[in-house]
Structure 1
Amino acid sequence: MRFQRLLITTLLAGFISSNPPAQAQEDLLDSLMPKLGDEATSDTVATLVPEVKSVAPGKPFSVALKLQHPAGWHSYYLNSGGIEKSPEIKWTLPEGFTASELQWPTPEVTDGLFGKSFSYSGTPVFLTEITPPANLPAGSTITLKASAVWQICREGQCRDEPKDGPAKFEIALPVNASSEPDPTQVPLFAAARAEIPQPAKDWSVTAETSGTELRLRLKGVTADLSQASLTFIPDYPFIALALDGAGLTRDGDDWLLTLKRVTKDPVLDQPVPQGKEIAGVLVGKSAITGESKVVQVPPTKIGKAPAAPLSLAAFLPVLGGMLLGGLILNLMPCVFPVIGLKIMGFVQQSGQDRKKIVLHGLAFTAGVLISFWALSGVLFALRSAAGPGQEIGWGYQLQNPWTVLVLMLLMFVMGLSMYGIFEIGTSVTSVGGKLQTKQGVSGSFFSGILATVVATPCSAPFLGAAIGAAIALPPFQFFTAFTAMALGLSLPYLILSIFPKLVDLLPRPGAWMESFKQAMAFLLFATAGYLLWVYVGQIDLDNMLNVIFGLTAVAIAAWIFGRWHSPFRSRRVKTVALVLTVLFAAGGVKLAAPPAKSEITWEPWSQARVDELLDEGTPVYVDFTAKWCATCQLNKKRAYPKEVVALMKERGMVLMRADKTNPDPAIDAKLEELGRSAIPVNVLYVPEKDPVITPELLDAGYMKDLITREVPLPEKK
């Protein structure tokens, strides 16, 4: 027995480490477990029993699936607690009949091979309620058909039952004006119903989430649950078992049971989908009398836990942290170029009307405040609407690749403008604007908005603790905290505008300002580069070349605009320049736009893997490629549209990529064996056929013809 336990663990560990698709994992487990379960001394005896001798039109009745397990073996609850299979029954009913879901008895909590399991030993009984139609004619006979499967396990051994396929059942019942119970089955159904947990009559249950926690709130409970050993058996695999009162606390008149989420399957190493409701069974056992009480928690939607306001003493450090964080943001590369250019504006205003200088400071501050309120308002709405297990944070807008693309293009284009490739109006960017004019005030306001937009990528590393605390606050404290952050960002500008004598300490205007402006361009280029890194991580590295070409096209558009759309050019030249600017800019954005998710999956190439697949009868397609190979990149765009990928999947092909971006002796040796010295090289291997080396340039038509001609359809099993 110990050897079998060790064998299962070793096989699963080695299999899981290779991380194959979930279906392949299921297939392995299905094939593995029955073989190890063949030591059972006998099979489960299954019977399907109706509680009535006859049925009546429109009157529901129950049918029991009784499973008598071999000694020492057990089956499983709706949620097994692991990877084991629960009993399933499928009905074939006469027209108009309906069947309920299985009604599950309270399971036992037992030790399984990979943790706690929820199981049934002995002879569990599962009820199904059948409802006949109201117009069922009396005097007829109806036939109910069903098929059932289940799994039994013991001490790390499991097998599917029945061995030869689903158990088949057929029940014929007469139809009378009134239903006639079967007296011989009354004890069976009474005992089965007693085992099915029912909702509490005197108290209610609600579910809430707070951060990563799930909580059951028990309302109206008069008993002292601290004197009971309370266990929660979940119906869903994303909720962990709560055993012996763990996580149980008192909250006023309510009891709170804190539950842990299961985010990853411990056996298959796959993510566990997070649900939107909680359901399960509460089992309470008195520490004094030993008496047990079982209560069903019906499917309960998970709501948001109300945020508790902080005391003033606790809230002030949050405000201070947000204010300090806003000040720090002025030194970040994401923000400093904008702030630096505004300081240049102060230099230009030295000695001018103080009221106008203050007006610019207030306009900048208003831009920061309004944009912070808008962004924090969106964040608050997302927080309120977030589903279970979804956490929303400041800067999370950068999870959207379109947002990152827009910011990247904005930083890149502003950098080109600051470097002198072209000039854009101060009403749009406030760069070099005349701050004493109305247009300059608008520019100051826009600068405040822009500073906020570009600040969000920088804020997370420096404001993690403060923002984390602020996001969980109730509405008033939430918006107050983000207002403090906005004031921190705008404070230096505001101080310089209110006390213009401080501006006099800055250097006087001169030729150095153009150099300073161009120097600021490199900070913007650095920010655009950072955003490019984020963006490529979202759209996949293989698509980076398109983004580079897109940015090049945008730069050409900016150069054309700056070179030929100047005031001293003729109207015709400016019109042509504007048209070319729009074409290049639109083309650049289209090239850089987030691509559709590729449906093609490549494995890393190795000759050993190719030989293994061919021995199994699987066709293989190998792409010998490199990042620096321009023709290879062209082939990727032309040769593998959706219809070609669908054809490859239909024929059961495995696709492999031999990447020689960096030197690889094994790839070089294989190319020499194929008689090729340069890439691209694409090879189709079909079992029992010679390899087919494709032409260098590929297109979808050639690929469809090649696959259809050379790769046979897999045989149906």
Structure 2
Amino acid sequence: LGTVSLPADAVGPAVLAVSVTAQACNNSQCLPPLAVSADLKTEILAAGSAFERINQGLFASEVTADSIEVSNGGDQGQDAEDDRSILLFLIGVFFAGLALNLTPCVFPLIPITVGFFAQQAKNRSGGTFWMAFAYVMGIAFTYSVLGVVAALTGQLFGSALQSPWVVGSIVLVLLGLSASMFGLWEFKTPNWAHKAAGARGGIVGSLLMGLVMGFVAAPCIGPFVLGLLTYVGQKGDPVFGFFAFFTLALGLGLPYLILGTFTGAVNRLPMSGMWMVGVRRVFGVILIAMAAYFAAPMMPGNWGQWLLAATLVLGGLYLLVIDRTGSEQPGVDRVMRLLTVIMVVVGLWLAPINRGGAGGQHLEWQPYEAAAVDTAIDGGGAVILDFAADWCVPCRELDEKTFADPRVAAILGGYDRFKIDQTRQDDEARSVASKFGVRGVPTVIVFAEGREVFRITGFERAERFFKRLP
């Protein structure tokens, strides 16, 4: 809805010049930006005058998601790869939730909370387990709601997430959150959260304590949670958001369930100490890596991949060699060192290093010329058309990750390669898109023997694209 401000004495027929620019995106593809201008003829009535509603038929029906046909060009093989990636991500989030229990704001509360459960359960059946269970369900409810809201809110960004200004703002927020994990500034816990956390007893009280636990521990776990919220918002999938934060809550709550069942195990927990500060710094490096992840698609060439890899490698080496905070606890220190070694290994694995091929080099593409494209297709040779735009992040990912892969580049070297620029939606760009049935970018079409062999819409990994090529 729009608001039009008029002078108080404006009465009678009027023409309003209206211009609307919009761009539709899903998680894999964007339609071109579309600007529509029109003159809206209307009549301005004096204040308090009777009026009649017009054009009600235009607003009688509501467009729903079910009425919109979306094609992502995927297949079962790609879906299986995505499912594996999601599973690995959830496993990582679960262990991150476990690790957050080792931060200074959470770890000292574990024996106190379990002791509170034991005191409350003296005259109740079921011992402390059901109180711990209610506590964990409270945590899970709070975080699951946050995850769903973040995903739904993220859907509102649409093409805004393609903007360098929006991505730059996200990167700055993540870096600021990382700074808090290194002690440069601190979250403050609201007083109402402290009061609510200890206000009630019994099952209901345990549930309420769980509901506000995230606020009480915000100085330590807040930065990581906000970073994860940003990532979930960028995905824009409410189901993914729910499971991501439900899994995080299960990781946070697992120690309470175990200690609620075996209360004697509380005495075996390590003593609080500086090692908990070291845990916070591990999460600080993770937040910096998340900032690099968001910045990577906006950087030229392989710089984004190098930045992410360097962040993990240098951050891991810093924690492994220079900052050995917490080494007074040998057992915890070994776990911390293992985590930092994993960071370094993952960073080296993500580095866009030439591994035995001619990869890492960008292919040369010809600009679109109708005669040249028609001649190449009619000649029966292998032809690839890449419809792309400067504002299209998945288009850059195809260039940097898929087309630059050594195996893909070796095959495409024998193709006639044409890149069709859809950045500006002028008559020529729309005509070419219409000719080949292209509705959005990225769209890649491969021809052989004078006919279309396949097309993809959206980003596709090099492994899957390589198997498609004739």
| TM-score of the aligned structures, taking structure 1 as reference length | 0.24
Structure number with the higher strand fraction is 1
Q: Which has the higher contact order (CA 8 A, sep 6+)?
A: 2
Q: Which has the larger radius of gyration?
A: 1
| TM-score of the aligned structures, taking structure 2 as reference length | 0.34
